[in-house]
């Protein structure tokens, strides 16, 4: 159960994208805090919704692409003639606009369109201050954002910096003695005095949190740090108001004491739903082999139960001396949840902690992830090659084959130290017994191999060749140590099996260093063509990354974190590029993360 929480700060942000105004108390209505994000700075590249309706975040200048906005702030001023919103520049200049009773900006406002353009416009983009007649929250159904200062401190410890919580632009700052306890509030109703909030979903972060909230400009790659140290890009939660009323600094927050409820991620994209860290619980723990533990995990969103054979989940550790996260291949899926099978490494950070988990323990999970999947009804001959604890994807493939009553030709080839070290090998045997075209081959490297039952040693190229009748109709699924994968790739190349027919799930440990920005190695200028629009622009280092250039020139391309972690901006780039910020996660094969890349030749962005 989450640690006790208490409100430490209350903020509203009259102008979306600018710094805000601290309050000691406020009324929370159905629309959240009055005058919160009622104005925005549009760049006129995305149409605005009709007055009185919510407009998407993409229509406005924002900190992720405009870190220079960080030194600006806005506050609401009470006035007999209606609400006034005063904007302050980093130089201390101020000017205000007046809102009429409908929320529209009055024509006689002191903050004129010319001043707005001078303060916020650039050589390539316009800037107009507009009223929505509504609220411009990041999401239409989430008027309140909540940040746990304990989580901010945990991130600060991981990166070696004292972080100002104001980077996260929350409405409510809360505190507890437990980092990330706010994520265990998902799906719950919390009470603050007589006010009730429903906690909806976690908040995915972007480069806006890298901006210094007092001076502006980026000073640390916080999305990269979040991903490197915690395995996700989320900090804080969104909520909606269920029962209105007044709240104050220092108010305690109570949560319902029900067992973890189901969490709906309605409205989230597929990528957002799988990558969001969320509560899970351990429903069963087994010991299927020496030094191995299998845990059945129930996901509060049900998303993990949609995993394809070969995919993995991520466990996020929130306790212990330092944060940790690990990817674990899903070894089984059913209606109750998913199973992972973990071998204990005494010198490991995560596996001893995982082995100490017991039934009913709460965990944070995300996923499923991974492209190395197998179709139980695929047409080609499938050879599943695994070593050691790499057997886990083979187990999920075997289960899927049986569930589909598949007639696909499949050979399972596994190598391990001894029979006692192999978890759930009986599931592979059952699949081979139940299905007419499934075979299994077990290699043991110790002396307990039994001729006619097991093979001794490791599979040779000659043995593997005996399994394959047509290389052009063969698909390999491989999981094991890096050397094992290299050996299989070498064999495949000799037999004429192409890389596109090899699905590899190598063992992986996360990196904990956060890359520092680097200078572009070549000054150009270079020609950059955007193939979809046919537009061509000149790049030099003042343009920033390829994504920055796209933004400045009005080319709308998908992007999210802008830190080389989420993969949203991955596109095919023809030509040579250089990463001025090394991605925390690699780009998909044949693609480039343009949020981190600059050209070193003329390029075409597909």
Residue 21 has pLDDT above 90, yes or no: yes
- Concatenate the DSSP letters of all residues of 463-498 into one string: HHHHH-S-GGGEEEEEES-HHHHHHHHHHHHHHT--
Give residue-wise pLDDT tens across range 457-471: 899 999 999 999 999
Structure tokens at 208: 């806006």
Q: Among residues of the chain, what percentage have pLDDT more than 90?
A: 70
Q: Give the pLDDT of residue 96.
A: 94
Q: Among residues of the chain, what percentage have pLDDT more than 70?
A: 96
Assign 21 to helix, strand or coil. Answer: strand
Provide the 10 A C-beta neighbour count for residue 46.
15
Domains of the chain by start residue, with CATH: 36-131 (no CATH), 140-262 (2.40.33.20), 272-369 (2.40.30.10), 381-504 (3.40.50.80), 526-605 (3.10.20.30)
User: What's the CA gap between 384 and 439, in Å, rounded?
Assistant: 10
Rounding to the nearest 10 degrees, give the CA dihedral for residues 572, 576, 581, 587.
30
pLDDT category at 273 given cuts 50, 70, 90 is confident
State the average pLDDT over residues 574-596. Answer: 90
State the average pLDDT over residues 275-298. Answer: 94
Q: Give the pLDDT of residue 123.
A: 82
User: What's the CA gap between 113 and 115, in Å, rounded?
Assistant: 5
Residue 449 has pLDDT above 60, yes or no: no
User: What's the CA gap between 45 and 60, in Å, rounded?
Assistant: 9
Which residues make beta-bridge pairs with 279? 364
User: What's the CA gap between 222 and 207, in Å, rounded?
Assistant: 7
Structure tokens at 40: 């925005």
State the average pLDDT over residues 247-273. Answer: 82
Q: Give the pLDDT of residue 108.
A: 81
Give residue-wise pLDDT tens across range 329-370: 999 998 778 999 999 988 888 899 999 999 999 999 999 998
Q: Give the pLDDT of residue 320.
A: 56
Which residues make beta-bridge pairs with 370? none
Give residue-wise pLDDT tens across range 210-234: 999 988 899 889 998 999 899 999 9
Q: Give the pLDDT of residue 1.
A: 44
For 510, residues 6+ apart whose C-beta sits below 8 A from its C-beta are: 228, 231, 325, 326
What is the chain's mean pLDDT, rounded? 91
Give residue-wise pLDDT tens across range 359-396: 999 999 999 998 889 999 999 999 999 999 999 999 99
User: What's the CA gap between 86 and 7, in Å, rounded?
Assistant: 26
Assign 535 to helix, strand or coil. Answer: strand
């Amino acid at each position: 159960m989450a640690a006790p929480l208490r409100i430490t700060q209350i903020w509203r942000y009259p102008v979306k994208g600018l710094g805000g105004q601290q309050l000691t108390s406020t009324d929370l209505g159905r629309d959240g805090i009055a005058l919160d994000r009622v104005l925005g700075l549009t760049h006129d590249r995305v149409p605005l919704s009709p007055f009185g309706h919510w407009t998407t975040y993409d229509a406005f200048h924002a900190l992720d692409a405009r870190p220079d906005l960080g030194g600006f702030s806005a506050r609401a001023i009470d006035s007999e003639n209606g609400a006034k919103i005063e904007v302050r520049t980093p130089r201390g200049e101020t000017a205000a606009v007046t809102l009429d009773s409908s929320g529209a900006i009055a024509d006689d406002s002191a903050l004129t369109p010319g001043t707005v353009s001078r303060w916020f416009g650039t050589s390539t983009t316009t800037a107009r201050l507009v009223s929505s007649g509504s609220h411009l929250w990041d999401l239409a159904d989430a008027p309140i954002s909540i940040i746990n200062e304990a989580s901010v401190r945990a991130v600060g410890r991981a990166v070696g910096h004292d972080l100002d919580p104001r980077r996260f632009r929350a409405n409510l700052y809360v505190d507890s003695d437990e980092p990330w306890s706010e994520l265990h509030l998902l799906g719950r109703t919390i009470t603050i005095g007589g006010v009730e909030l429903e906690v909806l979903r976690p908040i995915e972060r972007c480069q806006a949190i890298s901006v210094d909230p007092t001076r502006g400009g980026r000073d640390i790659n916080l999305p990269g740090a979040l991903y490197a140290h915690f395995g996700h890009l989320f900090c804080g939660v969104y909520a909606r108001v269920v029962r209105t009323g007044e709240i104050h600094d220092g108010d305690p927050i109570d949560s319902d004491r029900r067992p973890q409820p189901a969490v709906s991620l309605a409205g989230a994209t597929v990528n957002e739903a799988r990558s969001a860290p969320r509560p899970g619980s351990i429903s069963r723990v087994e010991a299927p082999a020496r030094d191995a533990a299998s845990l059945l995990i129930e996901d509060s969103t049900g998303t993990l139960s949609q995993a394809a054979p070969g995919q993995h989940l991520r466990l996020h550790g929130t306790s212990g001396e330092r944060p940790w996260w690990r990817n674990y291949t899903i070894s089984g899926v059913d209606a109750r949840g998913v199973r992972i099978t973990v071998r204990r490494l005494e010198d490991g950070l995560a596996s001893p902690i995982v082995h100490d988990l017991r039934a009913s323990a709460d965990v944070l999970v995300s996923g499923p992830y991974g492209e190395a999947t197998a179709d139980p009804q695929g047409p080609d001959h499938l050879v599943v090659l695994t070593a050691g604890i790499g057997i886990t994807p083979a187990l999920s493939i075997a289960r899927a084959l049986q569930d589909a009553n598949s007639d696909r030709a499949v050979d399972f080839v596994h190598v391990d130290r001894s029979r006692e070290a192999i978890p759930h090998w009986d599931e592979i045997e059952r699949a081979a017994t139940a299905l007419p075209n499934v075979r299994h081959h077990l290699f043991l490297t110790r002396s307990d191999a039994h001729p006619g039952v097991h093979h001794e040693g490791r599979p040779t190229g000659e043995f593997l060749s005996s399994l394959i009748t047509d290389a052009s109709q063969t698909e390999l699924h491989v999981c094991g140590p890096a050397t094992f994968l290299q050996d299989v790739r070498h064999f495949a190349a000799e037999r004429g099996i192409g890389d596109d027919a090899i699905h590899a799930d190598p063992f992986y440990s996360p990196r904990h260093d956060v890359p520092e920005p680097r200078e572009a190695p070549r000054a150009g200028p270079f020609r950059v063509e955007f193939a979809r629009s046919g537009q061509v622009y000149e790049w030099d280092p003042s343009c920033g990354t390829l994504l920055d250039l796209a933004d400045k020139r009005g080319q709308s391309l998908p992007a999210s974190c802008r830190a080389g972690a989420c993969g949203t901006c991955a596109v095919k780039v023809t030509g040579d590029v250089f990463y001025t910020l090394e991605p925390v996660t690699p780009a998909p094969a044949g693609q480039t993360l343009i949020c981190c890349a600059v050209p070193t030749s003329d390029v075409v962005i597909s």
